Amino acid sequence: MSREALEFALPHGRGVLFCEDDIDLSPNFDLYLLAAMGEGAVTWFYTHEGPKTLSLTYGPVMASLILGGDVIKPGLYPLSTPRRGTQCVYIPQAALELLPLTELHGGVPIDIALDRWVDRLLLRSLVALPNPVQHRHSRVARSVQDVGIKRSLSFDLRREDQWLA
């Protein structure tokens, strides 16, 4: 299904916002999306943030802020390492045109494929922090083995009156 969605978006020349259906958006999500569109980078609006992976993903300074519950200046930030797992990502048209969509077959999740493509194709990528998307982490109709917490720790660490100031 992901492949069909991206192939449908491709000829329209505007990039694509790829979202799963079990998310909540922050009140200022539109500002993050407009910023991402202006940057022209693959932009993750949600990442699975765990205490053990924060430093690897965002670097030690940002990890410390998140773990400390500090307010984070809203914006788009570089990733320290490739991201694994997302619920919402913006793919600009220039990147969409480079993606080998034929590789999306046999149940390869789009977020994992996109991580690989970003690395392999050296695509510029950013993450929106604090994450303006929260995964509801509903386990309805999921296997018992899927017990890992998949929620953003940074989602609530924002002030609505600040934006890329």
Q: Does 48 reside within a domain?
A: yes
Task: Say yes or no to pLDDT of 69 above 70.
Answer: yes
- What is the average pLDDT value for the chain, to the nearest integer? 81
Domain membership flag for residue 153: no
**Residue 65 belongs to a domain:** yes
pLDDT the model gives residue 35: 95
Residue 20 lies in a domain: yes
- In this prediction, residue 9 carries a pLDDT of 92
Q: Is 13 inside a domain boundary?
A: yes
What pLDDT, on a 0 to 100 scale, did the predictor assign at position 134?
79
- Token pair recorded at residue 8: 């449908």
Number of domains in the chain: 1
List, for residues 99-117, the tens digit of each pLDDT value. 999 888 777 788 888 888 9
Domain range for 74: 2-135
What distance lies between CA 74 and its chain's CA centroid? 15
Q: Of 20-34, 83-97, 141-155, which range is least confident?
A: 141-155
Could you tell me if residue 72 is inside a domain?
A: yes
CB within 8 A of 153, min separation 6: which ones?
49, 50, 51, 54, 66, 67
CA distance 53 to 64: 12
Q: Does residue 156 fall inside a structural domain?
A: no
- Euclidean distance between CA atoms 132 and 113, whole angstroms: 22
Report d(CA 156, CA 66) in Å as an integer: 10
CA gyration radius, the chain: 16
Q: Which pair of tokens denotes residue 147?
A: 């017990």
**Residue 155 falls within a domain, yes or no?**
no
